[in-house]
Structures are given as C-alpha cells and as structure tokens.
Amino acid sequence: MVQVLPLRQQSSTGNSTDGFGCSLKQLSINQSLPGSDIDIFRKATVNTELDQVMTPASDRGFVVGVSSLGGHTRRIFHEHRATTHDFTENSIYIRDLSHAYKADLRGPFDFVLFEISPASLGKIADDAEMPGITSLSVETASKDIVLANLARALIPALEKPDEANALFVEQMTTAIGTYLVQRYGGRPMVGSDRSGSLSRAQEDLAKSLLLENLDGNVSISDVAQVCNLSRGYFIRAFRQTTGMTPYQWVLRERISRARDILRTSNTPLAEVAIACGFADQSHFTRVFAGIVGTTPGNWRRNA
C-alpha cells in the first residue's frame, strides 16, 4: 500500500508536487482514502494555466483517472512525438507507472484517481477468477460511463472520510477492481511489448539486490517481496524480461565475477569459489565449465 495523504482536503504552498506529479499549490481539492487493494484520491483545480507534470518510472503499478469535468486538455510527450488529448465529462485515463510520464496540462480538472499496485492487481484478478492478468491497457481520454458512475459514488466518502462507511468503500473498490480487470486487464500495453515482464524499475531493483548478494544471502522470495510481487510471478516475469530464471542469471553473474578474479589475481580456486557464492571448488568448477566451456584452471592459464 502506498503512503497516502491525510484523509481530509489539503491546502498547500510552495512548489512541491504530489505522487502523480501535480503541483500542490495549484490543487483546489486534494483528498485521499485508503482501500484494502486500491488507494483512492480526488484531485481538482480551477486554474486554467497549469504546470507541466513529470513523473519518473516506478514500480507502483497503475493509476486510473476518471474525469467529472470537461474542458481539460493534456499534451503528452512520448519518446519521439507528442499527442494532445481533450478530456470530457466521464472520460478516463489509465497510466502504467513503470513508464516515465511528461505532459503539459491546460484547463481545470476534477479527477477521481485509483492507484493499484502490481500485487493488488494480481489479487483482484485472482478474486475475479481471471488469473494471469498482470497489466491494464493504457487509455487516454476514453469515455467510460460505468467507471465514471462508480467513481462518482465515492466522492462523498472522499469529502467526509471520517464518516465514510468502511464496508461501503471496500465493496465499491472491489466492484471497481473487478470491472477494471474484466474490461482493461490483459491487453498489450500501448507502445510496449513487455506485458508479463518486470517493469524497468523492478528489473533494476531486482538485479541490484541480486548483485549485492551473489554470495546467496538473499532469497528469491526476498527479492520478489521487495518488488511487490509474488515469488511465482517474479520468477516468470524475470525470465520473460531477461531470458533466464533468477537462479540462472545469478550463476552467470557469479561466473563473471570469478573470471575477473581469475584474470587479475593468483587466488586459489577454492577461495575464488567461496568468494563468488559457490558451495565449494567442485561446485564452482562444474558450473564454470558448463557456462564457459572449460575449467577455471584452464581458463586462467589461457586468459
């Protein structure tokens, strides 16, 4: 669960931004409400000239925005082009937060937002008897009356969170989550062929943790948990991303480290084996020969 704002309308000064890149000083409404699987926000402004929104890639999952106003426009910057989108009443957007985002905003807006982590999306899909869904299709300024009506029903709870009925909020977020995976779940992401893969942020985090613990002091379950994924999904997504299981990737990185040691020192093979996370010299020799095609001793002599 992400850390959410206090459950009341906020007023802010300064140039800081919220978790979605919006300038806090320009928001006339800034409300939040936590859910068991989905965090709910309401963001609104009456300003017509707005700051540019920029957010880096992250492993937070997806954010779904539902507009209750017309007249808002966004010019979204992609790698080699920009696209302009006009938001009408009851239009929505779905953003994959694993991709960096930059957009120029113009015109007032009033959005109800739903943030869903990868783990929560998987749980929602499982509960909806649609296992295997790991993404939502990217949408921008698409009309969705059903989702708009569901979002609108939560506005009173956002306005008076202390009086909100927790059971009602849970039932509404369950209905919203089920609707999202049924309508938008499992479609290929626009501009990406990485569906079912780790996000860039997750891949970098996983590889960094594994490299820091080549001696085996971190488990695959630990890495999966840090990436906010189940162990099974993490292994499948890692293989989809890298072409190897986490264990195969670690073995190759251990061999790479061993080759550096062999090339630059006279350290005994038994010590090289331990330094690179192998159980003993025999294990090291077997894996090294399987990957490199020759024994560590022969490779050192020829290096």
Counted domains in the chain: 3
**What domain range includes position 135?**
24-184
13 band by pLDDT with thresholds 50, 70 and 90: very low
Higher pLDDT, 236 or 176: 176
Q: Would residue 10 count as lying in a domain?
A: no
Residue 4 has pLDDT above 70, yes or no: no
Q: Would residue 16 count as lying in a domain?
A: no
The CATH number that applies at residue 52 is 2.60.120.10
Q: Are residues 220 and 257 in the same domain?
A: no
Angle at 125 between CA 120 and CA 130, to 5 degrees: 165
Chain-centroid distance of CA 41 in Å reads 18
Question: Which of helix, strand or coil describes residue 50?
Answer: strand
Q: Are residues 74 and 177 in the same domain?
A: yes
Backbone angles phi, psi at 176, to 5 degrees: -65, -45
The CATH number that applies at residue 258 is 1.10.10.60
Q: Are residues 90 and 180 in the same domain?
A: yes
Q: Are residues 295 and 211 in the same domain?
A: no
Mean pLDDT of the chain: 85
DSSP state of 94: E
Q: Are residues 103 and 208 in the same domain?
A: no
Count of beta carbons in the 10 Å neighbourhood of residue 263: 10
**pLDDT computed for residue 103 by the predictor:** 93
Residue entry with tokens 């084996």: 273
**CA dihedral (149, 89, 158, 53) positive or negative:** positive
Q: Would residue 237 count as lying in a domain?
A: yes
Domain ends where: 158, 184, 210?
184
The 10s digit of each residue's pLDDT in 198-207 is 888 889 999 9
Q: Are residues 40 and 142 in the same domain?
A: yes
**pLDDT computed for residue 213 by the predictor:** 86
Domain ends where: 136, 159, 184?
184
Pairwise CA distance, residues 102 & 209, whole Å: 29
Backbone angles phi, psi at 63, to 5 degrees: -125, 135
The 10s digit of each residue's pLDDT in 29-67 is 999 998 878 999 999 999 877 778 899 999 899 999 999
Q: Would residue 292 count as lying in a domain?
A: yes
Q: Are residues 210 and 145 in the same domain?
A: no
191 band by pLDDT with thresholds 50, 70 and 90: very low
Q: Would residue 85 count as lying in a domain?
A: yes
Q: Would residue 189 count as lying in a domain?
A: no
Q: Are residues 262 and 225 in the same domain?
A: no
Q: Are residues 129 and 218 in the same domain?
A: no
Q: Would residue 131 count as lying in a domain?
A: yes
DSSP 234-265: HHHHHHHHHSS-HHHHHHHHHHHHHHHHHHH-
Q: Are residues 260 and 129 in the same domain?
A: no
Q: Would residue 136 count as lying in a domain?
A: yes
Buried b (16+ CB within 10 A) or exposed e, 205-232: bbbeebeeebeeeeebeebbebbbbbee
Q: Are residues 31 and 176 in the same domain?
A: yes
**pLDDT computed for residue 33 by the predictor:** 92
Q: Are residues 223 and 109 in the same domain?
A: no
